[in-house]
Amino acid sequence: MAKKKEQENTQQNPMAGTGMETGPGAAMNDGTATKKAGGKKKSKQEEGIATVEVQSGAAAAPAKRGRPRKSDSSEMGEAAQEVMVKPKRGRAAKATTAEATTTAEETKPKRGRSAKSVTQQQEAEAQKTGLSTTPAPVMEQPHQEQTGPVYYDISRLSEFDIYLFREGRHFNLYEKLGSHLMERQGTKGAYFAVWAPNAEQVSVMGDFNSWNRESHQLQARADGSGIWEGFVPDVQAGMLYKYHIRSRYHMYHVEKSDPFALRREKPPQTASVVHELHHSWQDNDWLEQRKSRHGQPQPYSVYELHVGSWRRKPEDNNRPLTYRELAEELPAYVKNLGFTHVEFMPVMYHPFSGSWGYQITGYFAAASMYGSPEDLMCLIDALHREGIGVIMDWVPSHFPSDEHGLAYFDGTHLFEHADPRKGYHPDWNSYIFNYGRNEVRSFLISNALFWLDKYHVDGLRVDAVASMLYLDYSRKHDEWIPNEFGGRENLEAISFLKDFNHAVHEQFPDTLTIAEESTAWPQVTGKVEDGGLGFDMKWMMGWMHDTLTYFSKDPIYRRHHQGDITFSIIYAFSERFMLPLSHDEVVHGKGALIRKMPGDEWQAFANLRALYTYMYAHPGAKLLFMGGEIAQSSEWNHDSSLDWHLLEFKYHAGIQELIRALNHTYRDQPALYSKAFDPSGFEWIDFNDAHNSVMSFLRKGDRPEDQLLVVCNFTPGVHEHYRLGVPTGGNWVEVFNSDDGHFGGSNFHNHGTLQAIPDSFHGHDFSVVLKLPPMAVVYFKYQPD
């Protein structure tokens, strides 16, 4: 994401917990961004000095298992049991809020454990601990006195659920927490459950009680889990609600949306909606194909898309298309162009459209500005039926400070790390999850699996992984604290990412995880059991940067920068890479891709055609942001549609035709994908002809006849007789040429068959003589004698 988020968050301060906003989902404050947290001198408490967390419920929680950390509470007295954090300034809060953070014995996160709620491993573990492993979707509790119109004798949580939740290994919490329509002794209503361990009172307020804060109080479980629950009769689907949380600290109280709500009001309103997901999926054929292709080499050509600005309705106040309107247009368009997958920028609920979805307050709810959850399911279903996979951006790296969201949830830093040097992101004015807290790990991994489970998503691209891995990411020297070994690595985030990938690949082995990771962190796509992070792919940010830098130079100077365009092959197989030309490259003053290309109109479009054709020949999977396929001439604007009228012009239509042809060539030529992550699938012919800005290489498949010879000419000069060495005798036939007239080129081709002659060149025993068109990339297919 680079640093785009620093301009995004204009949300309100969660510290303004006055509780003054009532009614159906009080609207967010769209004022200016809050100032950076931690303005005053920080507490003496450092990393490794733990404090006491007061759990809600009748009994305090037992100490967490794990290695105890040092504590100086004996020296500091009772005051050491609370970490004083200066709240961020915004609307006036009732009181400055102090908090109690984590238990004196922090749990060391377990790695590589089963992601399932009940597995053989966990059953054996449960037998040792004496906990039941019997699934209990609805469980009758011992009779307790009813307070008002709420019943406490029913629960969706078993003892084993609580055990897994505390261990950080409960990965289907969306089946347990939140609101769920159900029936109690013949009476229909809704069960509510929310985690707020530092609250002294939690109430449900909504349509059903005229937004009364006091009438429907939940009850804390007696097991010290910090979960409040209760059954409210006569609550129906579609009713709005929030939680009114009164903290045990400094009279802080606040209205919060449900973190597990499956549906939210349309922004700027922020209430949760009682909802059960219902969709009759028709994608069984796709899911079976996905399963059968798992582990097999296959092409990955991804069309990245922002739902709100792909197309708009100018006749209807320029509104975005709904999910269902997209379902009528997008699948056919993407299929026609030959892309294998669509990647949606985040479609989880976000209250501010200008954040592009990266500032999420509703992790389990689809963005309601485009329709209902079922409408989004309809879109995914339609894509699957056309044979197109769906990847979603997922944001476990940070969340915004909106009062109705996760920030300062129960009057303490519950989801975020309490120390702003680890819990606040200065670039994006947002909070960072506390990856060392097991309940937070359960929340996040449950959320990842939720989208794979309930929405049939085929993959998750994890946003801003670099910001998670490094404690000093985009911070000054005095704005971060080292880990327990004195290093800059975020050990808790590393452990979390490994657990996330292990859980995904155990429960949904035929899905993908992709890391947006911009550094040289080792083994991002290495197996967890081998010490890697466990991702399936990683965005190749270095290739993107070097390639765009090279192509932005006037061709006359490219001879001095040949190393920029060839360097990526040195590390191309160190990870399983995806080559991105993403949204980040066409915003914030960077301009559209076509505007980066030098020269007059013809040369600019020839450069862009060469760039795309080179990209498809380079090892790795491919990703192109929407608009790139029509040579969008203006910088991307999330508030307006792509400029579809550009297709009326020859060169723009030619780019679209080029992308269509490239995608079909990519699918048809195994050499371009069968060994995309294997160095045996690539061989240089010549990378030293810097004088002519020409380079050539082979792409190989499993059979000799799969070979492709790729020749790139990055200047407007034409070469009538260009000689190249080749490894064997036989014939070579031109199968793709970015200079083709259908694409807007000069139509300079190699017609017929090129015969390899036994004349050694470039270290090979044979050679061919071919024509090189101007500013073009050409593929030749090997044909044995």
Active-site positions?
Answer: 463, 516
Radius of gyration of the chain (CA): 28
* Secondary structure (DSSP) of 685-753: EE---TTTTEEEEEE--SSGGG-EEEEEE-SS--EEEEEEEESSSEEEEEEEETT-GGGTS------SE
The whole-angstrom separation of Cα 501 and Cα 514 is 10
Q: What is the CA angle 105-107-113, rounded to 5? A: 165
Tokens of 483: 């880990």
Helical H runs in 278-322? 284-293
Backbone dihedral region for residue 514 (phi beyond 0: left; psi -120 to 50: alpha; all else: beta): beta
Distance CA(666)–CA(662), nearest Å, equals 6
> 337, 290, 300, 340: which is closest to 674 by C-alpha?
300
Q: How many other C-beta atoms are found inside a 10 Å radius of the C-beta of residue 147?
A: 14
Calpha distance 164→364 (Å, rounded): 20
536 Cβ contact list (under 8 Å, min separation 6): 459, 512, 513, 514, 525, 576
Estimate to the nearest angstrom the gap between the alpha carbon of 651 and the chain centroid: 34
Rounded to an integer, what distance in angstroms lies between the CA atom of residue 457 and that of residue 411? 35
Enter the tokens of residue 548: 């765009």
Q: Distance (Å, rounded) from C-alpha 537 to C-alpha 576?
A: 5
577 close to 543: Cβ distance less than 8 angstroms: yes
Measured CA to CA, the distance from residue 446 to residue 169 in angstroms comes to 9
Q: Which two tokens stand for residue 411?
A: 């009057």
* Cα(523)–Cα(538) distance, integer angstroms: 10
Q: Say which amino acid occupies 721.
A: H
Both structure tokens of 347: 């479609």
Rounded-to-integer distance, Cα 278 and Cα 259, Å: 20
**Contact 141/94 with Cβ under 8 angstroms?**
no
Residue indicated by tokens 């396929």 = 629
Return contacts of 181-186, CB within 8 angstroms, 24+ apart.
181/235, 181/236, 181/237, 181/274, 181/276, 182/138, 182/154, 182/231, 184/151, 184/153, 184/154, 184/231, 184/233
Q: Report the length, in residues, of the chain.
A: 785
